[in-house]
Amino acid sequence: MDMQLKVKNVTVAYDDYVAIKDVSFALKPGEIGCLLGPSGCGKTSLLRAIAGFEPVQCGEISLHGKTVSVPGNYLPTEQRRVGMVFQDFALFPHLSVEKNIAFGLKHLNAKRCDERVEELLKLVGLSHLKTAYPHELSGGQQQRIALIRAMAPRPEILLMDEPFSSMDAELREQLAREVRELLKRDGITAILVTHDQLEAFAMADAIAVLGNGELHQYDSGYNIYHNPANRFVADFIGQGVMLQASVLDEKRVETEMGVFKGELPEDCHSGQQVEVLLRPDDVIHDDNSDIKLEVIAKVFRGAEYLYTLALPSGQSILCLVQSHHNHRIGERIGIKLGVDDLAVFPVCENTETAD
Amino acid sequence: MKFSYWHTSIIATTLLLAIPLAVVVANVFVPAGEVWRHLAATVLQDYIVNSLLLMFGVAIGSLILGVGSAWLVSVTEFPGRKYFEWALLLPMAIPAYIIAYTYTGMLDFAGPVQSSLRELTGWGYGDYWFPEIRSLGGAAVMLSLVLYPYIYLLARAAFLSQSLCVLEVSRSLGNGPWCTFFHVGLPLARPAIVAGLSLVLMETLADYGTVQYFGVSTFTTGIFRTWYGLDNAPAAAQLAAMLLLFVVVLVTLERISRRQSRYYNTGKRTQPLQRLKLVGRGRVAASLFCFAILLSGFLLPAAQLASWAINTYQTMIDARFVTLFFNTLELAAISTALALVIALLLNYGRRLQPTRGIRFAVRAAGLGYAIPGTVIAIGVVIPFGWFDNTLDSWMRAQFDVSTGLLLSGTIAALVFAYMVRFLAVSLHAVESGLERITPSMDEAARAMGEKPLGILGRIHIPMLKGSLITALLLVFVDVLKELPATLILRPFNFNTLAVRAYELASDERLADSSTAALAIVVAGLVPVILLSRSLSKTRSFAK
């Protein structure tokens, strides 16, 4: 299948600072990708390189089969047919909502242009604000206008730079859902830049986890959470603890919580000391279980409690439990393990940690 | 290459604008011989003492007027407060030399005040004591009356931005409203007040018209006397350099205060200030205080000018006045347009290539606002005159053609001096407009397929329009009001409104000078209106 966006071995650098090193990934038409990483990881630089605001030092970027960026040569942004939604929305304050949306529709005649504007406004349910000016809109409304303004000229790809970062948490979730629906309905290929993993999970079909300018993993949200490719991804995404373990054979490791089965990295040999990632949702509360562990800390999160439980060896694990199971600190509660995907990492002293 | 293009043109512009300053400073090293020794032995001490005394007087006067009125209108509530809030800016419209002429006309022996006093009491000449307006003290009062708005503006903004919480903490700790003002409000506003005061003192040092008319010997009058009377360029330049030293101190003071005021920021105001409701005598006193300032700083002088103008305009508005009017207009229009073009060049250069060199050059180009017109004029006339004479003698020797005074004898020198002095004004106006166009707006437009020229036409020009008009108006009015540089640099027999008002007043034809003076005041109202409009914007914001 033809790829809508292909990023091949791309390096982006400013003077002597390398922002992105040798990154490759691709998006199918209609797919929504996400560049996820802590601040300073280079995700925005990569997005700007795709938009054509930054040149690439190595590698190649192509859109819809057409090469747009190679070292020393790149198609200017205005000829790329990209749509862009900015963190600050960048609505033109001197133009009405209608004129803002029509800004990129110069090639259409007045009637077709008006139709497109009406259509998009209806899509986001803001038809009544057609003649309003940006300063009269709420944050959420500005966000929607910025989005449909970028969508109006039917771009090859829609690029969104932290589009929800200025919203409060509740609105952010609702908007992310709305935007995903909208993009899917129109079959628009899009890339979202964010540092918020929940936003990435909610929006994206495929997530590229970036750290220190490198691509650590490019996969679905599920796999990034349950099968992190390396320690950086394991640390950055979700919560969890690393449990010490030793390799028994190609398929099994042993921990103080028992033996886990699953795929191990190829270079493991039996007897080797490794670490196993244990997510809070891998640890299931069960009053009937024989394994009883002491609660040493708890955090109330509304629907559930996050308990920290002590193992006999002194290591601790996290356990997510529905909040009507309210246990005191010091109480021993029964748990069982439900590790479906085994994530094993070599022991290392200096772990690369995410923000 | 794009980089070097911006770089070269911006650095070249800044260097060109720095010529006058460089010339004045360089002349410190040229021996002025006997003349300088003569100056040092006789009048130099007067210049320094008088300048310092004048600055001291103006500082006291403008602080009382500026801080007092700013505090009243921003923190308390009394009848007419809303009107005073903008009306207190009106005195800014009157140049100091014009208010000086007006008060002289009102208060001197033959003026209406003393005349009616004599009529009422039957006293004759010499029977009574009356304060002499034409004195150092009088000059300090005149300057205070029109310069205090600098302090008023900055102090008012500082008072309004003080977080209510800080003031409430003081109240909750048992301090009354007055105690809170003196122990919290005033200290917090101090950097802003000091910044305003340094602007006032810069204007005081730059003043020529008032001190000359009142016969007070200061640096500016000294420079004129050395230039015209003693005909000694190096000595005049050396006096100018000494004056510059004072200015440098003030500029540094202003910079430090502005930097400090950042640390005095108490965070965003979340609630509107509960204004102190003045009662009884306090209410009346507050209204009277503000009204007295307004009356003496604007209403009285404006009324006096108007009444003179009504009596004399028929004889004054003749063919000569029309020439004068169009001369002024032409000069202001050329300078304004050029200042705008340069401001655009520098600002866009900085936006597109924000290298350290360019940022520094743009800031340096805006420093001229602090330099007195007299100093700039000396710094322009010396190199331009040298250039003209050298070119002329070379051309005569080579081709037997005389080029005459190509630069120093035409309005070119004048326009150049105005650029040096007033570029900061248009630079700042364009900058604040350009700041509103965020880089992501440019990028959004490009992503939607717009080319750079299209972005300029569809986004920048419409969004900048207001700021460009502001820049034009402000420079226009400043050029209109400028006196000392115009006096030194104008071509022979080329008059402007300001020069005409000065000449007529110097000939003791005060009533006749009123038509030109009134025209300047009316034009001076334009920036005041612009300011008061932005003031009402901050007011609604503070709500």
Q: How many domains does chain A have?
A: 2
Nearest CA-CA partner of A113 in B456, B448, B447: B448
Does the pLDDT value for residue B316 go beyond 80? no
The angle formed by the CA atoms of residues B277, B283 and B286, to the nearest 5 degrees, is 110
pLDDT < 70: residue spans in chain A: 1, 348-355
Smallest CA–CA distance, residue A251 to chain B, in Å, is 51
Task: Name the domain boundary from A207, A231, A255.
Answer: A231
Using CB atoms, pick whichever of A82, A93, A106 lies closest to residue B447.
A82
User: Which tops the pLDDT comparison, A9 or B195?
Assistant: A9
Q: How far is B116 from chain A (nearest CA, A)?
A: 59
CA B7 to chain A, closest CA, distance in angstroms equals 19
Same domain, A55 and A201: yes
Q: B159, B515, B222: which is closest to B374 by C-alpha?
A: B222
pLDDT of residue B250: 87
Measure the CA–CA gap between A86 and A162, rounded to whole angstroms.
7
Cα gap B413→B134, rounded to integer Å = 33
pLDDT at B8: 87
The verdict on residue A341 lying in a domain is yes
Residue A103 carries which DSSP code?
T
Partners of B438 on chain A (C-beta within 8 Å) are 88, 90
Residue at A178 is within a domain: yes
pLDDT tens string A82-139: 999 998 888 998 899 999 999 988 888 999 999 999 999 998 889 999 999 998 998 8
User: Per-residue confidence at B39, pLDDT binned at 50, 70, 90?
Assistant: confident
Which of the four pLDDT bands, split at 50, 70 and 90, describes residue B146? Answer: very high
Q: Which residues of B302-321 are buried (b: 16+ CB within 10 A; e: fewer)?
A: bebbeebbeebeeebeeeeb
Mutate to test the interface with B, among A47, A103, A133 (most CBs of B within 10 A): A103
Integer Cα distance of B514 and B310 in angstroms: 9
d(CA A147, CA B443): 14
- Enumerate the residues of chain A whose CB falls inside 8 A of the CB of residue B443: 51, 53, 77, 84, 86, 90
Which pLDDT belongs to residue B280? 82
φ/ψ region of B44 (left if φ > 0, alpha if ψ in -120 to 50, else beta) reads: alpha
Most A CBs within 10 Å, among B352, B448, B453, B541, to test the A interface: B448
Residues of B near A (Cβ–Cβ under 8 Å) read: 436, 438, 440-441, 443-451, 458-459, 462-463
Cα four-point dihedral sign B489, B490, B491, B492:
negative
Are A281 and A227 contained in the same domain? Answer: no
Exposed, middle or buried by CB within 10 Å (0-12, 13-18, 19+), for B128? exposed
**Which pLDDT score is estimated for B292?**
95
Name chain A contacts of B449, Cβ cutoff 8 Å.
78-79, 81, 104, 106, 153
- Residues B431, B437, B442, B445, Cα dihedral to 10°: -140
The 3-state secondary structure of B51-98 reads: HHHHHHHHHHHHHHHHHHHHHHHHHEECCCHHHHHHHCCHHHHCCHHH
Residue range B449-501, pLDDT digits in tens = 888 888 988 999 888 888 888 888 888 888 988 898 998 888 887 888 898 88
Read off the pLDDT of each residue in B135-164 and give the average, rounded to a whole number: 88
With CB atoms and an 8 Å threshold, state whether A77 touches B447.
yes
Q: Token digits for B250?
A: 């003030």
Task: Give a yes or no: residue A355 inside a domain.
Answer: no
Q: Are B336 and B381 in contact (CB under 8 A)?
A: no
Residue B190's contacts (CB-CB under 8 Å, 6 or more residues apart) are: B264
Q: Which of A58-62, B66-70, B215-219, B276-280 has the lowest mean pLDDT?
A: B276-280
Residue A82 and residue A166 share a domain: yes
* CATH number of the domain that residue A207 is part of: 3.40.50.300
Considering only the beta carbons, identify the residue of A84, A88, A106 that sits closest to B447. A84
**Is residue A65 located within the same domain as residue A168?**
yes
Each residue of A22-33: pLDDT tens digit? 999 999 999 999
* CB contact at 8 A, B54 and B204: yes
Are A57 and A12 within 8 A, CB to CB? yes
Q: Which of B169, B168, B151, B163 is nearest to B188 (CA)?
A: B163
Who contacts B43 (Cβ-Cβ below 8 Å, separation ≥6)? B217, B222
Nearest CA in chain A to B453: A78
Q: Please state at what angle helix B186-206 crosses helix B44-75, rounded to 10 degrees.
A: 140
Residue at which a domain ends, from A181, A204, A231: A231
B241-293 tens-digit pLDDT: 888 888 888 888 888 887 877 766 665 555 566 677 788 888 899 999 999 99
Domain shared by A191 and A254, yes or no? no
Does B443 contact A77 at a Cβ distance shorter than 8 Å?
A: yes
**pLDDT tens profile B425-453:** 898 889 888 888 888 899 999 999 888 88
Nearest CA in chain B to A148: B448
Compute the distance between CA of residue A120 and CA of residue B89 in angstroms, rounded to an integer. 49
A94 occurs within a structural domain: yes
- The verdict on A293 and A249 lying in the same domain is yes
pLDDT at residue number B273: 65
Token pair of B364 as six digits: 């340096």
Q: What is the DSSP string of A197-262?
A: HHHHHHH-SEEEEEETTEEEEEE-HHHHHHS-SSHHHHHHSS--EEEEEEEEETTEEEETTEEEES
Which chain B residues are closer than 8 Å to A78 by Cβ?
Answer: 446-451
A44 contact residues in B (CB cutoff 8 A): none
pLDDT digits (tens, 9 = 90+) for B396-421: 888 887 777 778 778 889 999 999 99
Identify whether A209 is part of a domain: yes
Asked if the model's pLDDT at residue B538 lies above 60, the reply is no
Residues B479 and B468: their CA atoms lie apart, in Å, by 17
How do A206-211 and A214-219 pair as beta strands? antiparallel
> Helices then strands (H, E): number in chain B?
25, 2
Residue A49 and residue A125 in one domain: yes
Same domain, A135 and A10: yes
User: Quick one: pLDDT at residue A355?
Assistant: 39
Does residue B306 have a pLDDT over 80?
Answer: yes
Return the residue of B nearest to A100 by Cα: B445
Residues on chain B touching A152 (C-beta within 8 angstroms): 448
Contacts of B446 in chain A (CB under 8 A): 53, 76-78
Binary contact (B451, A81; C-beta < 8 A): no
In total, the C-beta contacts within 8 angstroms joining chain A to chain B are 64
* Chain A residues contacting B via beta carbons under 8 Å: 51, 53, 76-84, 86-88, 90, 92-94, 103-104, 106, 149-150, 152-153, 155, 159
Residue A312 sits in a domain whose CATH number is 2.40.50.140
* Helix H or strand E segment including A142: helix A139-151
The answer for residues whose C-beta is within 8 angstroms of residue B314's C-beta and 6 or more apart is none
Q: Which of B443, B462, B463 sits opposite A84 (nearest CB)?
A: B443
Q: Is residue A166 part of a domain?
A: yes
Nearest to B462 among A53, A88, A94 (CB): A94
Same domain, A172 and A305: no
| Shortest alpha-carbon distance between residue B538 and chain A (Å) | 16
Contact B450 A104 (CB under 8 A): yes
Closest CA to B301 of B149, B103, B510, B86: B103
- Is A259 in the same domain as A134? no
On chain B, the residues whose CB falls within 8 A of the CB of A83 are 447-448
In this prediction the ipTM stands at 0.79
Closest-CA residue of B relative to A83 is: B447
Residue A51 lies in a domain: yes
Please tell me whether residues A192 and A94 are part of one structural domain.
Answer: yes
Contact A104 B458 (CB under 8 A): no
pLDDT for the residue numbered A61: 95
Of A90, A94, A152, the CB nearest to B440: A90
Nearest residue on chain A to B436, judged by CA atoms? A93
> CA of B449: which chain A residue's CA is closest?
A78
Question: What pLDDT, on the 0 to 100 scale, is given for residue B2?
Answer: 46
Residue A351 lies in a domain: no
In this prediction the pTM is: 0.79
**Chain A residues lying within 8 Å of B458, measured CB to CB:** 103
Give the whole-angstrom CA distance, residue A247 versus residue B221: 94
Would the pLDDT of B161 be above 80? no
Residue B514 confidence (pLDDT) above 90: no
- pLDDT of residue B298 exceeding 90, the answer is yes
| Least Cα separation, residue A174 to chain B (angstroms) | 24
CB A112: neighbour CB atoms within 10 A? Answer: 11
Residue B336 CB contacts under 8 Å (≥ 6 apart), including other chains: B426, B472, B475, B476, B479
- Cβ separation A150–B448 shorter than 8 A: yes
pLDDT tens for residues B330-384?
899 999 999 999 999 999 988 888 888 888 888 888 888 888 998 999 899 889 8
d(CA B439, CA B507): 57
Q: Which domain holds residue A106?
A: 5-231
- Mind listing the domains of chain B with CATH numbers? 1-30+317-506 (1.10.3720.10), 35-307 (1.10.3720.10)
Asked whether residue A214 falls in the same domain as residue A249, the answer is: no
Structure tokens at A104: 């990129």
